[in-house]
Amino acid sequence: MAETSQYLLVDASVLPEVFHKVVEAKRLIAQGRAGSLSQAAKQVDISRSALYKYKDCVFAYRGDAARQIATIFCELCDEPGVLSSLLAAISAAGANIITINQNIPVDGVAPVSVSIRTDNLAMESQEMLAELKKLYGVVAIRLLAN
């Protein structure tokens, strides 16, 4: 019978430093700041063998991430720059854009949903929505999930 993986949720403050460095090395690779595992290991100052040993077993966990994601549904005029100005305003409010889904326009209006991370918003979600409603080309906007 094959052995199944077991997982433990452990406070990172009690783990050896090597695990923190493995997570950082994996982040460097994912973001393109390190071109290889060897480069990443060198940048975080751990041995290559330690990185290879733990890279598939150590992961960063954000338990509150789901509570910090909101989805905004918009109807936008099908004109150049409208979506771009909406995204710029969302970013300026401090939100991190996770996904964008724009469907084919019907009668000159395109339905768009934007999922955002709200943990760094400089204002309340409803205040941001009110500001977005004022943008040129925004026909309708509402918060689907928060």
Q: What is the CATH number of the domain that holds 79?
A: 3.30.70.260
Residues 69, 138 share a domain: yes
Residues 72, 141 share a domain: yes
Q: What local confidence, expressed as pLDDT, does residue 60 receive?
A: 84
Question: Lowest-confidence range among 41-55, 59-73, 99-113, 128-142?
Answer: 59-73
Place of tokens 């019978």: 1
Structure tokens at 57: 């077993």
Kindly report, residue by residue over 54-81, the tens digit of the pLDDT: 999 898 877 665 568 899 999 999 999 9
Residues 109, 41 share a domain: no
Judge whether 83 and 76 are in contact, CB under 8 Å: yes
Residue 129 lies in a domain: yes
In the chain, beta strands by DSSP E: 69-77, 96-102, 109-117, 138-145
CA–CA separation, 52 and 41 (whole Å): 9
Confidence category of residue 136, pLDDT binned at 50, 70, 90: very high
Residue 5 lies in a domain: no
Residues 134, 79 share a domain: yes
Kindly report, residue by residue over 26-47, the tens digit of the pLDDT: 999 999 999 999 999 999 999 9
Judge whether 90 and 116 are in contact, CB under 8 Å: yes
For the segment 15-26, the average pLDDT, to the nearest whole number, is 93
Domain with 107 in it = 65-145
Residue 4 lies in a domain: no
Q: What local confidence, expressed as pLDDT, does residue 66 receive?
A: 55
Q: How many residues does the chain have?
A: 146
Q: What local confidence, expressed as pLDDT, does residue 63 receive?
A: 63
For the segment 15-21, the average pLDDT, to the nearest whole number, is 93
Residue 8 lies in a domain: no
Residue 128 lies in a domain: yes
Residue 6 lies in a domain: no
Please tell me the total count of domains within the chain: 2
Confidence category of residue 120, pLDDT binned at 50, 70, 90: confident
Residues 82, 38 share a domain: no
Q: What is the DSSP letter of 132?
A: H
If you write DSSP's letter for every residue of 1-32 in order, what string do you get?
-PPPP------GGGS-HHHHHHHHHHHHHHTT
For the segment 6-25, the average pLDDT, to the nearest whole number, is 89
